[in-house]
Amino acid sequence: MRTPHSHRRPDAHQPSATALRGPAAAARRHRTTGARTRAALAVLAVGLLAAGCSVTVDDGDEDEVRSPFTGESVEPGPVLAVKLDNAPDARPHTGLAAADIVYASQVEGGLSRLTAIYSGDVPAETGPVRSARESDLQLLRTFGDPAFAFSGARTAVLPLIAQSPVEAVTPDSAPGAFFRADGREAPHNLFLRPAEGLDDAPGASDASDIGFRFGEAPEGGRETDEETVRFPSASFSFAWSDEDGAWRVSMDGSPAEDTGSGQVTAATVVVQYVDVHDSQFPGTPFTETVGSGDATVLRDGRAHDARWARNSTADGTRFTGENGERLNFATGPVWVVLAPAPG
């Protein structure tokens, strides 16, 4: 269970993003060490997740409400998506380890950007925040009408964002929610206070079923210590850690660090092979997240072959194993790498 700071506005004396330490690290350790216990309880939740925005599990002692994004025992709240810079000068990130889901996608030049999804508990700060892309709108539609925080977008994309269901949160709409951090050079120094960002998006959808299922590990798969996914000019590696009971994340050959909690980890990693093609805007790729294709799901030190399917923008994404049954994720943070499909 995460620390109970859901939707609270940070205190005025909250340290800057570059100095955040202490409670966030403790919360992250608690989240990791409790993963195995939560996973056992999450087995009971598998058949119930489709019912709505949360899952109530009777463990014989008390009812627990579980997140449809992580399977953790935290009550879901409004969904906040934040577009994060992922250039080397943007690292280490702040608030990345607190995300329920992290999507990694390709941008111009074969580089990568991250989209962090928060609900229920939000960190005091997150960033660096960067600009939106057209394909973000297709991906985020699976969350209903989420709040979407970004620094800006090319002029032709802004009308598409305005016409979409997302609730845009920008430095223009919520200037008090953003700040420039000391010790970093622009454009890698723009950070967000998520609680204040959500204040600017009162209509943001609460977390609901997006297709993820949590529970016992599927049979089969292959044992693996590390898996690497490559973009034309970026890479992501995931190394299994028995000590953490999770996958340690590396980006471009270096460990992914969070200013508040150190090494970033994921309970489940999904390598989702998608069609990445030219968008309607020259030089900008579009990542298709509607359709179907192959995937690899990493959990508990094993890799499982899978298929993904998403019928429309309003649907979630189903992941099935070789037997055609829904494939359970491990309880905890999920990383989804939207990787170009081979060929």
Asked if residue 299 has pLDDT above 90, the reply is yes
Give me the pLDDT at residue 63, please. Answer: 63
Nearest C-alpha neighbor of 28 from the set 102, 113, 163, 121: 121
C-alpha 150, offset from chain centre: 15
Backbone torsions φ then ψ of 332, nearest 5 degrees:
135, -170
DSSP string, 205-238: PBP---S--BSSPPS--EE-SEEEEEETTEEEEE
At the top level of CATH, which class does the domain 222-340 belong to? alpha beta
Q: How sure is the predictor about 34, in pLDDT bands with cuts at 50, 70 and 90?
A: very low
Are the C-beta atoms of residues 181 and 17 closer than 8 Å to each other? yes
Q: 128-158, pLDDT tens digit by residue? A: 999 999 999 999 999 999 999 999 999 999 9
Residue 123 has pLDDT above 80, yes or no: yes
Q: What is the mean pLDDT of residues 321-334?
A: 96
Backbone angles phi, psi at 234, to 5 degrees: -155, 160
pLDDT of residue 10: 35
- For residue 20, the model assigns a pLDDT of 33
Q: Which of 6-20, 46-60, 302-316 has the lowest mean pLDDT?
A: 6-20
Give 28's pLDDT tier (boundaries 50, 70, 90).
very low
Judged against a pLDDT cut of 50, whether residue 7 lies above it is answered with no
Q: Which of 277, 145, 258 is nearest to 208 (CA)?
A: 145
* In the chain, alpha helices (H): 23-33, 35-42, 134-140, 158-163, 194-199
Residues 203 and 142: beta-carbon distance below 8 Å: no
- Taking only the tens place, the pLDDT of each residue in 155-206 is 999 999 999 999 999 999 999 999 999 999 999 999 999 999 999 999 999 9
- Over range 255-263, report the average pLDDT: 96
Q: What is the pLDDT of residues 198-257, one digit of tens each?
A: 999 999 999 999 999 999 999 999 999 999 999 999 999 999 999 999 999 999 999 999
Q: Are 268 and 334 in contact (CB under 8 A)?
A: yes
Q: Where are the domains of the chain?
A: 222-340
Q: Would you state the pLDDT for residue 343?
A: 74
State the Rg of the chain over Cα: 18
Q: How far is Cα 333 from Cα 324, in angstroms, rounded to an integer? A: 24
d(CA 322, CA 301): 18
Contacts of 191 (CB under 8 A, 6+ apart): 17, 94, 125, 126, 127, 128, 129, 178, 179, 180, 181
pLDDT of 102 higher than 50: yes
Mind giving me the DSSP string for 267-330? SEEEEEEE-EEE-SSTT-EEE--SEEEEEEEEETTEEEEEEEEE-STTS--EEE-TTSSBPPBP
Tell me: pLDDT of 43 over 70.
no
For the chain, how are helix, strand and coil distributed in percent, rounded to 5? 20, 35, 45
Give whole-number Cα distances, 99 to 37, 102, 135, 149, 213, in Å.
Answer: 20, 7, 20, 14, 18
DSSP 8-class letter at 82: E
Residue 111: predicted pLDDT? 96
Q: What is the pLDDT of residue 283?
A: 87
Question: Two tokens at 190?
Answer: 């723009």
pLDDT given for residue 74 in this prediction: 86
- Does position 77 have pLDDT exceeding 80, yes or no? yes
AA identity, residue 325: E
Average pLDDT over the chain reads 85
Helix (H, G, I), strand (E, B) or coil at 52: coil
C-alpha to C-alpha distance for 163 and 141, rounded to whole angstroms = 12
- Residue 83 CA to residue 168 CA, distance in Å, equals 11
In this model, does residue 36 exceed pLDDT 80?
A: no
pLDDT in tens, 275-293: 999 998 988 999 999 999 9
